[in-house]
Structure 1
Amino acid sequence: MTQSALLIIDVQQSFPQRSFWSEDDVPAFQQAILSLIEGCRQRGAALVDVFHNNGDGPFSPESGLVKPLPFLTHAADASFNKHVHNALTESGLHEWLGERDIRHLIIAGIRTEQCCETTARVASDLGYRVTFVTEATLTFPMTHGGRTLSSADLKHRTETVLIDRFAEIRTVAGCLAELEQA
């Protein structure tokens, strides 16, 4: 196994229950994340599922929805539950990574600008090398102050604030090529 781990963040059955859920970008996301998972597995990176659970409703463990979306069939090397926006705080993941000397995190999952971006920022602050694979993230339009940002706008904004500060931005192919060279 390499010193890399793919964090598959919040790709869980809770999200389709939310009013903002849209299938528009799901096919491209599904193809990208499945390719990334398979490529990371072939190159020896650990596969880590991270699930968000809290409160009542679809993110409550009692809902039965805090489990992978049906298209995910991989066997994770580890699974963690989080109660905050980043995957590393109080989940046990940071300690698990340290025990395995994993220093490179590849970020993918749902929602690009929330839990994925927040995990990238915290990981960088903790000294990890971070690769953010935007095409293997999913988000949905958001409106504030009468202005709606599309999913593409939100992804571009996330890349803009992460690049050269918190993470390297890569495509699936670019990420896998770098793993191959490592």
Structure 2
Amino acid sequence: MKVLRKSAILVIDVQQSFLKKTYWREQEVPAFADKLATLIHGAMAKNVPIVRIMHVEPEGPFSLASGLVKPFEFVPSHHDVEFQKQAHNAFTTTGLQRWLTERGINHVVITGIRTEQCCETTTRVAYDLGFEVDFVTEATLTFPMRHEASGKEFSAEEIRQKTELVLQGRFAEIVNVDQALERMKA
């Protein structure tokens, strides 16, 4: 018997806390914001649940006391549920798995900030938990990083390509926004 796909979008860490990080860069935000909004509005039109995940730490810009653990203004306000996480993935310290399972959701669409960190880690854990995973790279955001030992700087694009390389066919399907919307089922 074929299992029917039932989808949800995970919007991971798209929060104002990042504005206080030294690596924050604005140049790729407009394209990211556009792709994210298109994905969320498309999911809403299909009645696919939108799950907002916020990263919380005890101190600093990711603490609740900072007032920055809230979505960027460019994020569409509609969401079906919000979880706060303290780990790099959206499952370990939240009730996300239970929430998805109780609703019969077996397919998650990954979007958010940082491509190679919380988005990639959530993808791996989701796959290991038995979810079908679509990774929408163009609806993730990251920043250049410098390799400490070699001093080489990796661009955001290089980091996204590396993430696609290690996820594709192992933990997720790499899709664009249009493909993600085509594959979603309420």
Does 1:176 find its partner at 2:181? yes
Partner SS state of residue 38, structure 2: helix
Q: Aligned residue for 2:25?
A: 22
How far does the alpha carbon of each residue in 1:64-101 deviate from its partner, in whole angstroms, 9 at most, with x for none?
A: 10010111132210000000000011211111111111
Partner SS state of residue 70, structure 2: coil
Match of 2:120 among 110, 117, 122: 117
Does 1:132 find its partner at 2:135? yes
- TM-score of the pair, normalised by structure 2: 0.94
In 2, Cα distance between the equivalents of 1:32 and 1:13? 18
Q: Aligned residue for 2:158?
A: 153
In 1, Cα distance between the equivalents of 2:131 and 2:183? 16
TM alignment of 1:30-69, pairs within 5 A: 30-69=33-72
Letter of the 1:6 counterpart: I
In 2, Cα distance between the equivalents of 1:54 and 1:138? 20
Does the 8 Å contact 2:11/2:52 carry over to 1?
Answer: yes
Does 1:73 find its partner at 2:106? no
Does 1:98 find its partner at 2:101? yes
Does the 8 Å contact 2:40/2:76 carry over to 1?
Answer: no
After the TM superposition, list the runs of 4 or more consecutive aligned residues in structure 1 that deviate by more than 6 angstroms.
Answer: none
Q: Aligned residue for 2:171?
A: 166
Q: How many residues align?
A: 180
In 2, Cα distance between the equivalents of 1:78 and 1:25? 27
Letter of the 2:55 counterpart: H
Letter of the 1:166 counterpart: F
Does 1:13 find its partner at 2:16? yes
In 2, Cα distance between the equivalents of 1:91 and 1:117? 17
In 2, Cα distance between the equivalents of 1:98 and 1:73? 25
1:17: Cα distance to partner?
1.0
Partner SS state of residue 81, structure 1: strand
Aligned-pair identity in percent equals 51
1:63: Cα distance to partner?
0.6
Letter of the 1:164 counterpart: G
Partner SS state of residue 14, structure 1: helix
Which ranges of structure 1 fall in alignment gaps of 5 or more residues? none
Does the 8 Å contact 2:36/2:75 carry over to 1?
Answer: no
In 2, Cα distance between the equivalents of 1:116 and 1:83? 14
Aligned-residue CA RMSD in angstroms?
1.2
